Amino acid sequence: MKTLEQKILNEGTVLKGNILKVDSFLNQQLDVDFLMQMGEEIKNLYSDTEITKILTIESSGIAIAVAAGAAMHLPVVFAKKSMSANVAGEVLTAGIHSYTHGNDYTAIVTKKYISKTDKILIVDDFLASGEAIRGLLEMVGQAGAEVAGITCAIEKGFQNGGDDLRKRGYRVESLAIVESMDESGIVFRK
């Protein structure tokens, strides 16, 4: 998505530790009109695929998942990172390591919101090591549902997550793939 690549070049900052900071439109402030355009792009990418539900993980995945859900007229389910009064009954869980926060957590989804007949599109803001996606795939597997695809706004192509998932046969469509980045600039995959 050329407009996203341009936005990353204009507004993104590369920080130490392979961090691409895009907090002006995706991770702290949300450029909602642009977010809705990303949702339309996701709809177009998967227009040939039957999808019944979108799955993401709190909290920065929620905004882009809602944008995709609005474009596709599909419900969104978001995995939680801790138990709360709103999670009750049987649950699906997966242990996930966060490289951003440097900790481990258990992602949780109420079991009844993913059924065997669902065709799930997994949506997140970033795809780097693929650790969060791995956890979401584990939960979809527990539910016996089908994975229709995996999409994210920004894939860090120089980490292994996205390409590993492609090798495993998943249809991964990222709106922008950063091939390399450092203080001198950001290069996107052609």
Residues found near a copy of itself in the complex (CB under 8 A): 15, 17, 19, 21, 23-24, 27-33, 35-36, 58-60, 62-63, 65-67, 69-70, 73-78, 80, 82, 84-88, 100-101, 109-110, 113
Taking the CA of residue 45 as centre, how many other CA atoms within 13 Å lie in the half-sphere pointing to its CB?
22
- For the chain, the maximum distance between any two Cα atoms, rounded to a whole number of angstroms, is 51
Least distance (Å) from a copy of itself to the CB of residue 80?
A: 7
Task: For residue 24, give both structure tokens.
Answer: 């002006």
Look at residues 38, 29, 88, 80 and name the one whose alpha carbon lies nearest to residue 58.
80
Task: For residue 103, give both structure tokens.
Answer: 């900790």
Contact 174, 153 (CB under 8 A): yes
Is 73 buried (19+), middle (13-18) or exposed (0-12) by CB count in 10 A? exposed
Least distance (Å) from a copy of itself to the CB of residue 166?
A: 26
Least distance (Å) from a copy of itself to the CB of residue 149?
A: 17
Q: Which is nearer to a copy of itself, 1 or 70 (CB)?
A: 70
Q: Which is nearer to a copy of itself, 6 or 28 (CB)?
A: 28
Contact 72, 54 (CB under 8 A): yes
Task: For residue 122, give both structure tokens.
Answer: 């997994």
Q: Which is nearer to a copy of itself, 161 or 170 (CB)?
A: 161
Q: Which is nearer to a copy of itself, 66 or 153 (CB)?
A: 66
Question: Omega before 59 cis (within 30°)?
Answer: yes
Contact 149, 49 (CB under 8 A): yes
Least distance (Å) from a copy of itself to the CB of residue 11?
A: 12
Torsion of CA 48, 140, 83, 154, to 10 degrees: -50
Q: Which is nearer to a copy of itself, 24 or 163 (CB)?
A: 24
Least distance (Å) from a copy of itself to the CB of residue 169?
A: 27
Least distance (Å) from a copy of itself to the CB of residue 82?
A: 7
Q: Which is nearer to a copy of itself, 36 or 186 (CB)?
A: 36
